[in-house]
């Protein structure tokens, strides 16, 4: 317990895993069954809520989708978490993947701590781990890589030329999260720095879901692959380990891939009445 906490409710910051609902942890499932309020991201399998959420829980969708214009503001999410917990409720903040990887957990933690509210952080299977496993690509396979780097291209300006050169020459496996649309730019930069042609690229869309797609190509013959539009969420794995996919792939690509997770623009058709509160918060944040 934290020494400055009040007698408020409690906040659970939990990862839901990358898509397959059976990758949810037992602890996260238990708290979903006890929750009074669940604030859930877009990238959470609908089956998780249908199977594990308490029938009495108020479910509020607070999804984000960069560049789509209808995302819930982070300040609104922080406010909702604190308001519900301050009423003595058990609040589960459910995030896709692992709660600590490329998320806004810091903002939410600060809001909870500043309000003196008790909390727990429950890890989940991160997208890189799930995608690699379901694509048959061991990220640090012996004799192929001794380390792995997790990156995002979201703020590409922080990656200077020296860093790109390092990425092009390292033997580490590289994983770019949330980078389907950025694939041409990422691959172009690594080509500029003469990346080893023995390294391959895996572009994985909707990993661990029934709609999973895996595309394997190399740096100097990938233009046709890059012209495809990858369904969100998608990530890129780069390195010699990608060559192992051919031997160890065990999940077939979806024959007719569709959106497994509802795009933000379509969420209005699946939201419950409770979610109108999220819109009200977002409007005044």
Pairing of strands 234-239, 200-205: antiparallel
Q: Residue 86 has what DSSP assignment? A: H
| List of residues 6+ apart from 267 with CB closer than 8 A | 42, 61, 63, 70
The DSSP string of 163-182 is HHHHHHH--SEEEEES-TTT
> Are residues 270 and 239 located together in one domain of the fold?
no
Question: Does residue 21 lie in a domain region?
Answer: yes
Residue 204: give its domain's CATH number. Answer: 3.30.950.10
CB 108 within 8 A of CB 39: no
Establish whether the linkage from the previous residue to 233 is cis, with ω within 30° of 0: yes
> Are residues 73 and 98 located together in one domain of the fold?
yes
Residue 85: give its domain's CATH number. Answer: 3.40.1010.10
> Are residues 223 and 268 located together in one domain of the fold?
no
Q: Give the residue numbers annotated as catalytic, written as ranges.
A: 41, 64
Tokens encoding 233: 């969420």
CB 130 within 8 A of CB 139: no
223: exposed, middle or buried (C-beta count within 10 Å: 0-12, 13-18, 19+)? exposed
Which residue range is the domain that position 70 belongs to? 10-126+261-284
pLDDT value, residue 68: 52
Question: Does residue 108 lie in a domain region?
Answer: yes
pLDDT value, residue 2: 47
> Are residues 159 and 121 located together in one domain of the fold?
no
Question: Does residue 1 lie in a domain region?
Answer: no
> Are residues 76 and 141 located together in one domain of the fold?
no
pLDDT value, residue 270: 41
Residue with tokens 């809001």, as numbered in its chain: 111
pTM of the complete model: 0.86
What does each of the 285 residues of the chain score in pLDDT, given as a tens digit?
444 444 579 999 999 999 999 999 999 999 999 999 999 999 999 999 999 999 999 999 998 765 555 678 999 999 999 999 999 999 999 999 999 999 899 999 999 999 999 999 999 999 999 999 999 999 999 999 999 999 988 666 777 899 999 999 999 999 999 888 888 889 999 999 999 999 999 999 999 999 999 999 998 876 666 667 788 899 999 999 999 999 999 999 999 889 998 765 444 434 443 344 334 433 433
| List of residues 6+ apart from 236 with CB closer than 8 A | 174, 175, 176, 179, 180, 183, 186, 201, 202, 203, 204
pLDDT value, residue 273: 38
- The total domain count for the chain is 2
pLDDT value, residue 179: 85
> Are residues 208 and 270 located together in one domain of the fold?
no
> Are residues 269 and 214 located together in one domain of the fold?
no
pLDDT value, residue 66: 54
Q: How far apart are CA 167 and CA 109, in angstroms?
A: 32
> Are residues 54 and 95 located together in one domain of the fold?
yes
Q: How far apart are CA 183 and CA 215, in angstroms?
A: 12
């Amino acid at each position: 317990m934290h020494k400055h906490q009040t007698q408020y409710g409690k906040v659970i910051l939990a990862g839901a895993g990358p898509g397959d609902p059976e990758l949810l942890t037992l602890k996260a499932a238990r708290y979903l069954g006890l929750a009074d309020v669940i604030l859930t991201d877009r990238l959470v399998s609908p089956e998780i809520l249908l199977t594990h959420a308490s029938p009495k829980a108020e479910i509020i969708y607070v999804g984000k989708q960069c560049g789509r214009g209808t995302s819930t503001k982070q300040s609104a999410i922080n406010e909702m978490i604190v308001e519900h917990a301050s009423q003595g409720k058990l609040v589960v903040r459910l995030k896709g993947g692992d709660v600590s990887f490329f998320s806004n957990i810091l903002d939410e933690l600060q809001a909870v701590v500043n309000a003196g509210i008790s909390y727990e952080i429950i890890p989940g299977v991160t997208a890189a781990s799930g995608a690699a496993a379901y694509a048959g690509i061991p990220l640090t396979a012996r004799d192929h890589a001794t380390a792995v780097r997790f990156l995002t291209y979201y703020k590409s300006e922080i990656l200077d030329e020296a860093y790109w050169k390092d990425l092009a020459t390292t033997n580490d496996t590289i994983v770019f999260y949330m980078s389907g649309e950025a694939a041409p730019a990422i691959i172009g930069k690594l080509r500029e720095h003469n990346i080893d042609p023995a390294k391959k690229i895996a572009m994985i869309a909707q990993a661990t879901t029934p709609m999973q797609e895996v595309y394997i190509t190399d740096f100097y013959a990938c233009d046709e692959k890059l012209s495809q539009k990858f369904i969100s969420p998608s990530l890129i794995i780069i390195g010699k380990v990608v060559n192992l996919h051919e031997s160890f792939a065990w999940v077939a690509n979806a024959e007719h891939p569709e959106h497994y997770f509802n795009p933000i623009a379509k969420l209005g058709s699946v939201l419950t009445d409770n979610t109108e509160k999220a819109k009200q918060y977002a409007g005044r944040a």
